[in-house]
């Protein structure tokens, strides 16, 4: 039976309320511990903690029982009573320990019932926590000058998440045989649905072949130096996943939602990115009379409109909050995951613009906290999480500008936590920079013929690298490493697989048959 004690009405409508507790179950469980501690504690230890008990006396007894049990000793009235020869008056008051233990022994229940009693005790504890959280939130709402409503909501959801995590029961171990059979079953399912992938397609076949797709619970890190196109590629992944009906959350810490939408439209309708935002043509010379670029033609506006119309069917949601914290991301992602539409992929642009809920001593420690929390979030929600990161400047100091996994240093434990590390490289960018930035200055003791030959070599390399890029798989926990060749369109800032037709749609809505 449940016993409730009255509490102050507080802000709950003025009615007399009671705190949920189940003292009868607490007494029965502790009596069972005193009679058969081994059977009872090995059953309930993982799901029941001392702070789940409503009565502080019962909490102390359970805590001491766990201490004795974990030392490998048996718990009975004689072994535990010595811990309470001088009971804490603030907790025990005038209660006599010997009389109290005798009372517990009379409330004894069989070990078979102990697990059910433990769940009842924990359920009451969760209800008490929920009541306390609601009262705390209500108090904050009555002081609007202290915190913004948005901050109160975020704090409430973060605490609610902690309570929810405490409600999940212990996850059982899985035998090797069961794990192997599950893996085989998923492989059969992949064959039946016509896919050779363990997870969702990236939207890029070369990546699919090497990584076996985007797998739930995995964290994929995409590293690049500025101007390499990491945002474009991340948006490409998000769009191509979402076009298949998979709900995707795309966070950008440096772009507005309008800019993200403009990039998606530019890729779809083949317009210059500048045209999408200005409404003018940048693929033709400026008008002689006005000295300005001519406005888009009707057919271009129509293509632009069709791209916007197609976006209606794309389940891609954009978050542009600055300095996103992990609790903020977790709160929104969990709401999406719990909804009927669900959540299939998270893309974050980019890591260094995120903030930890609790600041570390330095950037490395803070980065490590963020990385660990992101990995936990991916596993908790069982969705793939793609994280963009800006590489340090070491690659630009080298003659060969190709990035390496070591260039991720400075991002905390991101490199270690990642299941897959992709590095974007476009040699054309560096060659173009070299050609236009005085990289062809004549060297001392260099003849004109040698200088001319070097200029020609650079020109040939520049032409050969035009429109080309590569995705380097520097780390792949469940597959090979290597390089995927890509095409990059400077006008629309869009990546395609090297085998794709450059005239094919950048993305398309794949509607299911009626």
For 456-488, the DSSP string reads HHHHHHHHHHTTEEEEEEEEETTS--EEEEEEE
User: DSSP for 203-253?
Assistant: S-HHHHHHH-SB-TT-EEEEEE-TTS-HHHHHHHHHHHHHTTT--EEEEES
Q: How is domain 5-165 classified at the architecture level of CATH?
A: Orthogonal Bundle (1.10)
Question: b/e per residue, 426-464, with b = 16+ CB within 10 A?
Answer: bbbbbbbeeeeeeeeeeeeeeeeeeeeeeeeebeeebee
Give pTM, 2 decimals: 0.67
Q: Which residues touch 178 (CB under 8 Å, ≥6 apart)?
A: none
Angle between helices 37-44 and 23-35 (to 10 degrees): 130
Q: How confident is the model over 432-489, as pLDDT tens digits?
A: 777 775 556 666 677 778 778 877 887 887 888 787 888 889 888 888 888 888 888 8
The reply to whether CATH 3.40.50.300 applies to domain 202-423 is yes
The number of residues in the chain equals 514
Run of H or E including 33: helix 23-35
* 201/195 Cα distance (integer angstroms): 9
* 201/239 Cα distance (integer angstroms): 12
Torsion region of 10: left, alpha or beta (phi above 0 gives left; psi -120 to 50 gives alpha): left
Per-residue pLDDT of the chain (514 residues; tens, 9 = 90+): 344 444 444 444 444 467 788 899 989 989 988 888 888 888 888 788 888 898 888 898 898 888 888 777 888 888 888 888 888 878 888 888 888 888 988 888 888 888 888 888 988 988 888 888 888 888 888 876 667 777 777 777 767 766 766 665 555 566 666 767 766 776 676 666 556 677 888 888 888 888 888 888 899 999 888 888 888 888 888 988 998 889 999 998 888 888 888 888 888 888 888 888 888 887 777 777 777 888 888 888 888 888 888 888 889 888 888 888 887 888 788 888 888 888 999 999 888 888 876 665 677 787 888 888 888 889 888 899 999 988 887 777 777 778 888 887 767 688 888 899 989 888 888 887 777 755 566 666 777 787 788 778 878 878 887 878 888 898 888 888 888 888 888 777 788 888 888 778 777 766 544 3
Q: Which residues touch 452 (CB under 8 Å, ≥6 apart)?
A: none
The answer to whether 219 and 345 are in contact (CB under 8 A) is no
Among 260, 309, 304, smallest CA distance to 281 is for: 304
Query: Per DSSP, what are the bridge partners of residue 115?
Result: none
Q: What is the DSSP letter of 194?
A: T
Tokens at residue 177, please?
């045989």
Domain residue limits, the chain: 5-165, 202-423
């Amino acid at each position: 039976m449940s016993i409730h004690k009255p509490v102050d009405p507080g802000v709950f409508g003025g009615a007399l309320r009671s705190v949920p507790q189940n003292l009868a179950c607490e007494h029965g469980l502790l009596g069972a511990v005193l009679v058969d501690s081994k059977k009872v504690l090995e059953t309930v230890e993982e799901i029941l903690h001392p702070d789940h008990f409503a009565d502080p006396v019962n909490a102390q007894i359970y805590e001491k029982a766990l201490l004795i049990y974990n030392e490998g000793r048996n718990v009975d009235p004689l072994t535990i009573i010595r811990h309470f020869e001088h009971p804490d008056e603030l907790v025990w008051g005038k209660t006599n320990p010997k009389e109290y233990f005798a009372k517990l022994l009379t409330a004894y229940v069989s070990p078979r019932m102990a697990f059910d009693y433990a769940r009842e005790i924990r359920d009451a504890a969760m209800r008490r926590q929920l009541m306390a959280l609601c009262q705390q939130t209500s108090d904050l709402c009555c002081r609007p000058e202290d915190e913004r409503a948005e901050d109160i909501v975020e704090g409430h959801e973060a605490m609610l998440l902690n309570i929810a995590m405490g409600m999940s029961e212990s996850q059982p171990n899985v035998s090797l045989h069961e794990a192997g059979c599950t893996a085989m079953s998923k492989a059969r399912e992949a064959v039946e649905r016509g896919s050779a992938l363990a997870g969702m397609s990236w939207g890029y076949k070369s990546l699919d072949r090497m990584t076996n797709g985007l797998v739930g619970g995995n964290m994929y890190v995409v590293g690049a130096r500025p101007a390499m196109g990491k945002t474009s590629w991340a948006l490409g992944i998000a769009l191509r996943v979402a076009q298949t009906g998979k709900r995707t959350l795309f966070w950008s810490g440096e772009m507005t939602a309008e800019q993200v939408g403009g990039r998606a439209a530019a890729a779809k309708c083949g317009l210059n990115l500048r045209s999408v935002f200005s409404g003018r043509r940048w693929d033709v010379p400026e008008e002689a009379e006005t000295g300005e670029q001519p406005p888009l033609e009707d057919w271009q506006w129509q293509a632009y409109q069709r791209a916007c119309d197609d976006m209606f069917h794309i389940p891609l949601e954009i978050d542009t909050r600055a300095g996103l914290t992990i609790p903020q991301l977790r709160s929104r992602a969990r709401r999406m995951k719990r909804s009927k539409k669900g959540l299939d992929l998270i893309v974050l642009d980019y890591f260094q613009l995120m903030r930890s809920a609790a600041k570390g001593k330095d950037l490395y420690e803070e980065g490590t906290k963020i990385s660990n929390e992101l990995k936990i979030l991916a596993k908790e929600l069982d969705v793939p999480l793609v994280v963009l990161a800006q590489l340090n400047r070491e690659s630009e100091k080298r003659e060969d500008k190709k990035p390496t996994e070591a260039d991720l240093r400075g991002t905390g434990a991101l490199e270690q936590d990642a299941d897959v590390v992709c590095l974007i490289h476009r040699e054309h960018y560096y060659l173009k920079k070299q050609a236009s930035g005085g990289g062809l200055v004549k060297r001392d003791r260099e003849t004109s013929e040698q200088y001319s030959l070097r200029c020609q070599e650079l020109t040939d390399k520049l032409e050969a690298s035009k429109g080309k890029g590569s995705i380097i798989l520097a780390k792949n926990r469940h597959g090979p490493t290597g390089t995927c060749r890509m095409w990059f369109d400077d006008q629309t800032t869009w990546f395609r697989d090297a085998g794709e037709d450059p005239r094919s749609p950048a993305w398309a809505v794949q509607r299911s048959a009626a």
